[in-house]
Amino acid sequence: MSSVAGSFKLMKSLNRTLVLNSIRINGAIPRSEIAKETKLTAATVTNIVNELISEELVLETKPGISSGGRKPILLTINSKSRYVFGIDVGVNKIRFAIADLEAKIVVKETEKIFHPLNNEDFLELLTSKLQIMFKNFGEKKSKIVGIGIAMHGIVDNKNGVALLAPTLKLKNIPIKTVLEKEFGIPVRIENDAKTLALGEEWYGHGQSVKDLVCLNIGEGIGAGIILNHKLFHGNDNSAGEIGHTIIDINGPKCSCGNYGCFQSLASGHALKESALREISLGRTTLLREKCHDKLENIDGLLIYQCALKGDSLSVELLQKTGRYIGIGIVNIIHFLNPPLIIIGGGVSRAKEFILPSIYEVIDAKSITPNNTQVVVSKLGEDGSLIGAFTLVLSELFNSINSSLS
Amino acid sequence: MSSVAGSFKLMKSLNRTLVLNSIRINGAIPRSEIAKETKLTAATVTNIVNELISEELVLETKPGISSGGRKPILLTINSKSRYVFGIDVGVNKIRFAIADLEAKIVVKETEKIFHPLNNEDFLELLTSKLQIMFKNFGEKKSKIVGIGIAMHGIVDNKNGVALLAPTLKLKNIPIKTVLEKEFGIPVRIENDAKTLALGEEWYGHGQSVKDLVCLNIGEGIGAGIILNHKLFHGNDNSAGEIGHTIIDINGPKCSCGNYGCFQSLASGHALKESALREISLGRTTLLREKCHDKLENIDGLLIYQCALKGDSLSVELLQKTGRYIGIGIVNIIHFLNPPLIIIGGGVSRAKEFILPSIYEVIDAKSITPNNTQVVVSKLGEDGSLIGAFTLVLSELFNSINSSLS
DNA sequence: GATACTTAATTAAATAAATTAATTAAGTTC
DNA sequence: GAACTTAATTAATTTATTTAATTAAGTATC
């Protein structure tokens, strides 16, 4: 059975979580309101709030407005009482940042990755940069309670191992073990699409739903699936490998060897391939000029920029991509029927071109009277980074099972 | 937030559930073992077991074997202390059954459906048959604690309304309201693919996993998705409409209007269509003889029977269907990566022909080192019916939030 | 502007149900 | 048959909630 044993500890932990998140989500709220919202008694709320205040997680701020009786005392999260580290490992660079309890970035730096590198190089790169940033954070460094890492590829989040990172050409990097030994605070690692989804759930468009699918469409296509407020990992940590679901049995060959994968038709990579094909057929386009006749320089960003300038091929290509993305989304709707699907990653920059095509396909092809909302990522560029903070913050705020203080 | 408030009631309820299910799953177990398994203290187990015994849910049976001390007293579920009603609404018939707490059928009857019928006819059919069976159950009828109903189409399980039942050509049937008023016990309704999945989770192949996808492949294809031991409904109760996910953009037209839907290629209906096409092209086959030249009589069952007799076209058709099912399963693996996928419904009868093709496609096309198990339904014919019992039994055994006694 | 009412928050007493520790029950082993 | 084991129960303690009463700090009204 899945059920957990009831105990005083669990009871306390559940209620503490309720109170803490009531304060976090409402911004500034008096004890009486918390009691109403959580359905806890006023006495319980008082007790728990006292604890949270003594832990410095919560602050009494100004008094509120009386509604005919004693003034309420507004409570807020003490957002500078603790900090979290977030790391976003990309293809060519790694972004390091420190954020407060509201996931607001207070320090942010970037390191380039020089290929090729092995596991030791990679871990050394992380460790040394972290050491410097820890040091520079001065006496506040003791307030850093955890390190969250967003990483492409397949990640074993339980053991904190990057199982397969294709673009870095690395395997089985024991990140958690190494960094926890070095820094003595909890380290959490997660696949980047999953991290993005988590970021959107906590600080982006997903705050009012309990289930969502977040697409990360860049060179490839990955998805983060959140079910009942929790990331879904699947049996082998490879849930969300939606880029390799087949939508056209007789379609083009994908890098994985199969034919007609979603990402062989709808990704940034597919976009570039389509552009090159059209150009090789002699089609006139602004792209040719803008890439200075170096066709390998063409990428999604350039196509978007040319589309903005009215280049008809670029516009067409983006629209076609939008239609393919629409097919993939229709499949998600028919399979999981989530209340919300979020489109993130590089292509979401070109939303004015792709979104109409996406909506068109969804309207035409979804068979059920579906109310799934489809939107573009709210967090944008910083999505994975904010998600990385959230890996730690979500444990801090949902104290159950947490090893954080 | 999703979290629930902690309370004494919750604590008690959680532990009661743990103990009850420990007994249910283990068959015969002493208190000491329950304590070990659930990590509850012996004292708590004693208290809860006493309660369960006084409610007649649990029985002390024979003493167990001593391992060097006092003999343990074995506890079992008192399976005849309560009964549940299960109803499986098919296209042409409705199956009614009563089962004990082990989901063992003790009474089973079938009623034919005469088309066309309206909502009132349908409800009257259910009500009158239930009344008779209640009466015939004698004094034991007061032990029936709930009615579970498996129904094709889209079902609003919360409100107990069959929103859309295409084969009956009915809409918005308020089954729960009507039957609860008539019989005064809880009524639960669920889509048949979801019900099948629930049955497999509790009494079939899904007992050791917490997530699974169960395909119901008949004339169409539906899926029941179980995540963290719970049925997943999606936003509009249409999660699992996997038959209409697109796997071949340029494929044949589906009944829904789209092209290349999974079920336009892999269902019983698709199988028949393929057979007719081949026959119209003049292909010799045993099918022609066996249907007595009435081609409309050809169906999945006949094709299977001919395949058994060595008819090469029938074998080929089943293998092709298996390959298409394989594609759909690969998509499920790449999207959700569940530990288990169960194949149920009519075509699973022909497992010796389709299963090898399915495995072949999965091996060839799944990109991740996946450990998803793919098996054929354990419950077979009675799957949906057993699932219908489970709608009620699962609430009884997981007392949290239950309105059952 | 004194009295009555409201609302917020805390404190004190009562209660639920788990945990811990001690006891009883019923063996086995040498 | 004395010493040890294991199972199950009972009694005492503890945790944390709930209920009820109290204190705090207002507003409204005549």
User: Does residue A1 lie within any of the structural domains?
Assistant: no
Residue B237 in contact with partner chain A when CB distance is under 8 A: yes
Residue nearest to nucleotide C28 (CA to C1'): B68
Structure confidence at residue A291 (pLDDT): 81
Q: Which residues from B are below 8 Å from A363, CB to CB?
A: none
Q: How many domains does chain B have?
A: 3
Residues B249 and B367 in one domain: yes
**CA distances (Å), A71 to each of A19, A36, A61, B50, B343, in order?**
20, 16, 12, 50, 62
B1-B5-B9 Cα angle (round to 5): 150
Residues A18 and A111 in one domain: no
pLDDT tens for each residue of B371-381:
999 999 999 88
Residue of B nearest to A19 (CA): B5
Cα(A148)–Cα(B86) distance, integer angstroms: 49
A363-A369-A370 Cα angle (round to 5): 75
Predicted confidence band of residue B292 (pLDDT cuts 50, 70, 90): confident
User: Does residue B3 lie within any of the structural domains?
Assistant: no
Structure confidence at residue B2 (pLDDT): 56
**Is residue B400 over pLDDT 60?**
no
**Is residue B261 over pLDDT 80?**
yes
Which among B40, B338, B400 is the nearest to A234, CB-wise?
B338
Cα(B264)–Cα(B273) distance, integer angstroms: 9
pLDDT tens for each residue of B267-277:
888 999 999 99
Instruction: Provide DSSP, B250-268.
Output: TSPBPTTS-BSBHHHHHSH
**Is residue A402 over pLDDT 50?**
no
Structure confidence at residue A79 (pLDDT): 96
Average pLDDT for A38-47 = 94
Average pLDDT for A150-177 = 94
Residues B229 and B298 in one domain: yes
**Token pair of B324 as six digits:** 């298409």
Cα(B48)–Cα(A365) distance, integer angstroms: 53
- Which of A88, A174, A171, A96 lies closest to A133, judged by CA? A96
Which among B25, B241, B248 is the nearest to A249, CB-wise?
B248
Position B372, amino acid: T
3-state secondary structure labels for all residues of A88-126: EECCCEEEEEEEECCCCEEEEEEEECCCCCCHHHHHHHH
Average pLDDT for A183-206 = 97
User: Does residue B1 lie within any of the structural domains?
Assistant: no
Contact A5 B39 (CB under 8 A): yes
Structure confidence at residue A395 (pLDDT): 95
**Is residue A399 over pLDDT 80?**
no
**8 A C-beta contact, residue B397 and residue B21:** yes
Q: Which of residues B136 and A401 earns the better pLDDT score?
A: B136
**CA distances (Å), B222 to each of A108, A156, B152, B201, B262, in order?**
48, 31, 9, 16, 10
Structural domain of residue B240, as residue ranges?
A: 208-377
User: Does residue A404 lie within any of the structural domains?
Assistant: no
Residues 30-49 of B with CB under 8 A from A: 38-40
Structure confidence at residue A340 (pLDDT): 98
Domain finish residue from A77, A105, A120: A77
Cα(A307)–Cα(A304) distance, integer angstroms: 5
Number of C-alpha atoms within 13 angstroms, CB side, residue A282? 0
Percentage of chain A lying above the pLDDT 70 cut = 98
A24-33, A178-187, A315-324, A363-372: segment of lowest average pLDDT: A363-372
Residues 375-404 of B with CB under 8 A from A: 398, 400
pLDDT tens for each residue of A75-115:
999 999 999 999 999 888 999 999 999 999 999 999 999 98
Structure confidence at residue A322 (pLDDT): 97
**CA distances (Å), B16 to each of A11, A38, B21, B230, B397, in order?**
15, 24, 8, 19, 9
Domain finish residue from B77, B104, B138: B77
Structure confidence at residue B401 (pLDDT): 45
**Token pair of B203 as six digits:** 């009494």
End-to-end, the C-alpha distance of chain A in Å comes to 29
Average pLDDT for A123-145 = 96
* Domain CATH for B48: 1.10.10.10
Which nucleotide shows the minimum CA-to-C1' distance to residue A41? D18
Which among B6, B22, B228 is the nearest to A10, CB-wise?
B6
Predicted confidence band of residue B368 (pLDDT cuts 50, 70, 90): confident
Which among B14, B260, B338 is the nearest to A4, CB-wise?
B14
User: Does residue B403 lie within any of the structural domains?
Assistant: no
Coil, strand or helix: which one is B385? helix
Predicted confidence band of residue A64 (pLDDT cuts 50, 70, 90): confident
In Å, the largest CA–CA distance within chain A is: 78
Average pLDDT for B234-245 = 95
Cα(A122)–Cα(A159) distance, integer angstroms: 18
Residues B184 and B93 in one domain: yes
Residues A248 and A348 in one domain: yes
Residues B33 and B52 in one domain: yes
Q: For residue B7, count other CB atoms closer than 10 A to its CB.
A: 16
**Is residue A403 over pLDDT 50?**
no
3-state secondary structure labels for all residues of B89-137: ECCCEEEEEEECCCCCEEEEEEEECCCCCCHHHHHHHHHHHHHHHHHHC
Residues B349 and B267 in one domain: yes
For an interface test with B, the pick among A10, A36, A225, A335 (most B C-beta atoms closer than 10 Å) comes out as A335
C1' of D19 to CA of B13 (Å): 22
Residues B240 and B321 in one domain: yes
User: Does residue B404 lie within any of the structural domains?
Assistant: no
Predicted confidence band of residue B187 (pLDDT cuts 50, 70, 90): very high
Predicted confidence band of residue A405 (pLDDT cuts 50, 70, 90): very low
Structure confidence at residue B287 (pLDDT): 86
User: Does residue B134 lie within any of the structural domains?
Assistant: yes
**Is residue A16 over pLDDT 90?**
yes
Residues B114 and B38 in one domain: no
**Is residue B1 over pLDDT 70?**
no
Q: What are phi and psi of B19, to 5 degrees?
A: -65, -45
Contact A241 B368 (CB under 8 A): yes
Strand D nucleotides with an atom less than 7 Å from a protein beta carbon: 4-12, 15-21, 24-28
pLDDT tens for each residue of A208-248:
999 999 999 998 999 999 999 999 999 999 999 999 999 99
Cα(B241)–Cα(A335) distance, integer angstroms: 6
A70-A76-A82 Cα angle (round to 5): 150
Residue B3 in contact with partner chain A when CB distance is under 8 A: yes
Residue nearest to nucleotide D7 (CA to C1'): B70
Residues 6 or more apart whose CB falls under 8 angstroms from that of B54 comprise none
Residue B93, beta-bridge partner list = B112
A372-A377-A381 Cα angle (round to 5): 165
Cα(B211)–Cα(B338) distance, integer angstroms: 6
Residues B295 and B387 in one domain: no
User: Does residue B361 lie within any of the structural domains?
Assistant: yes
Residue of A nearest to B368 (CA): A238
Residue of A nearest to B332 (CA): A245
Structure confidence at residue B124 (pLDDT): 96
Residue B265 C-alpha, separation from nearest chain A C-alpha, in angstroms:
11
Residues A227 and A263 in one domain: yes
* Domain CATH for A334: 3.30.420.40
Q: Which of residues B297 and B362 earns the better pLDDT score?
A: B362
pLDDT tens for each residue of B85-138:
999 998 889 999 999 999 999 999 999 999 889 999 999 999 999 999 999 999
**8 A C-beta contact, residue B73 and residue B60:** yes
Structure confidence at residue B402 (pLDDT): 45
Residues A192 and A275 in one domain: no
Percentage of chain A lying above the pLDDT 90 cut = 82
Domain finish residue from B36, B56, B77: B77
Instruction: Provide DSSP, A19-36.
Output: HHHHHHHHSSEEHHHHHH
